[in-house]
Chains A and B, each alone.
Chain A
Amino acid sequence: MTENSSTKTTTSRRGAIRTLAGAAAGAATMPLWARYTHAQSAEPIRIGFQVHRTGIGAAYGRWYDRTTQAAVELINEGGGINGRPVEIVAEDDGTDPKRGAEVVEKFANQHGCDIGFGTLFSHVVIGSAPRAGELKLPYFVVSEGHHVASGMLNRYTLQPGITDVKSQVQAMAPYVTRNLGKKVTMVFPDFAFGHDHRDFFTEAVKREGGEVLAHIAIPPAETSFTKYFPKIPRETEVLYHVMVGPAVLTFVKELGEFFGPQRPEMFGFIDSLEAVAMDSPGLEYLDGTYFWEGMPRHVQADQSDHDKFYREAVGVDNRGASVSDPTDISTYAHMFGCWETLHVVKEAMETAGYAGPGDRAALVEAVEAMTDMPHSRSHPQGAKVFNGKTHQVFGHQYISRVEDGRLVKVHTTSIEDTFYPDEVDYTKRAL
Chain B
Amino acid sequence: MSATRRSLALHGGLIALLFALQFVLPDYHHGNLARIMVLASYAVGYNILFGYTGLLSLGHALFFAAGMYGMGLTIQHLGFTPAPALVAGLVTGIVVSAGLALLALRTSGVAFMIVTLMFAQAGYLTILYFGEYTRGDEGFVIQQAERVLWGIDLSDPTNRYFAALILFAICLMACLHLVQRPFGKTLVAIRENEERVRMLGYDTFAHKLGAMIVSGTISATAGAVYGLLFGYVGASFASVQYSIFPLLWVLLGGAGTVLGPFIGTLFMFYLIDFSSGITTAYMLIAGVALVVLTLFAPQGLTGELRRRLWRWLP
Contacts and interface: CB of A to CB of B under 8 A. Distances in A.
A54 interface: yes
A134 interface: yes
Contact of A152 (B131, B140, B277): B140
B136 A106 contact: no
Contact of A219 (B125, B155, B282): B125
A74 interface: no
Nearest to B135: A192
Contacts of A92: 276, 280, 282
Interface in B258-314: 273, 276-277, 280, 282-283
A119 to B, nearest CB: 13
B125 A109 contact: no
A101 B138 CA distance: 14
B3 to A, nearest CB: 37
Interface in B82-132: 125, 128, 131
Interface in A179-211: 190-192, 195
Given A105-B32, A191-B128, A195-B136, A152 B141 contact: yes
Interface string A82-122: 00000000011000111001100110111000000000001
B141 A130 contact: yes
Contacts of B273: 102, 106
A106 B276 CA distance: 11
Contacts of A130: 141-142, 144, 155, 230-232
A190 B282 CA distance: 31
B7 interface: no
A98 B235 CA distance: 11
A140 B79 CA distance: 30
Contact of B237 (A4, A98, A109, A219): A98
Interface in A105-163: 105-106, 108-110, 122-123, 126-127, 129-131, 133-134, 145, 147, 152-154
A53 B280 contact: yes
Contacts of B142: 130
B42 to A, nearest CB: 12
Interface in A68-92: 91-92
B234 interface: yes
Nearest to A94: B283
Interface residues of B, number: 32
B27 interface: yes
A301 interface: no
A126 B128 contact: no
Contacts of B125: 219
A91 B276 contact: yes
A30 interface: no
A296 to B, nearest CB: 28
A233 interface: no
A127 B139 contact: yes
B232 A220 contact: no
Contacts of A3: 26
A134 B144 contact: yes
A102 B137 contact: no
Contact of B128 (A98, A133, A220): A220
B28 interface: yes
B234 A127 contact: yes
B136 A153 contact: no
Interface string A49-65: 00001100000000000
B218 to A, nearest CB: 19
B236 interface: yes
B14 to A, nearest CB: 23
B28 A106 contact: yes
Interface in A31-53: 53
A357 to B, nearest CB: 12
Interface in B14-37: 26-28, 31-32, 35
A147 B138 contact: yes
B138 A134 contact: no
Given A97-B236, A126-B232, A126-B234, A102 B141 contact: no
A110 B131 contact: no
A126 B140 contact: yes
A101 B230 contact: yes
Contact of B236 (A96, A108, A152): A96
Contacts of A102: 32, 35, 273
Contacts of A190: 128
Contacts of A105: 28, 31-32
Given A97-B236, A105-B31, A192-B131, A123 B139 contact: yes
Interface of B: 26-28, 31-32, 35, 125, 128, 131, 135-142, 144, 155, 230-232, 234-237, 273, 276-277, 280, 282-283
Interface of A: 1, 3-4, 53-54, 91-92, 96-98, 101-102, 105-106, 108-110, 122-123, 126-127, 129-131, 133-134, 145, 147, 152-154, 190-192, 195, 219-220
Given A98-B237, A192-B131, 20 more contacts: A1-B277, A3-B26, A92-B282, A97-B236, A105-B32, A106-B28, A108-B27, A109-B31, A123-B138, A123-B236, A126-B140, A134-B155, A134-B231, A145-B138, A152-B141, A153-B141, A191-B128, A192-B137, A219-B128, A220-B137
12 contacts: A97-B232, A102-B32, A102-B273, A105-B31, A106-B273, A123-B138, A123-B235, A130-B141, A131-B230, A134-B231, A191-B136, A191-B138
In the A-B complex, the 4 residue pairs with the smallest Cβ-Cβ separation, listed nearest first, are A192-B138, A109-B28, A130-B231, A110-B28
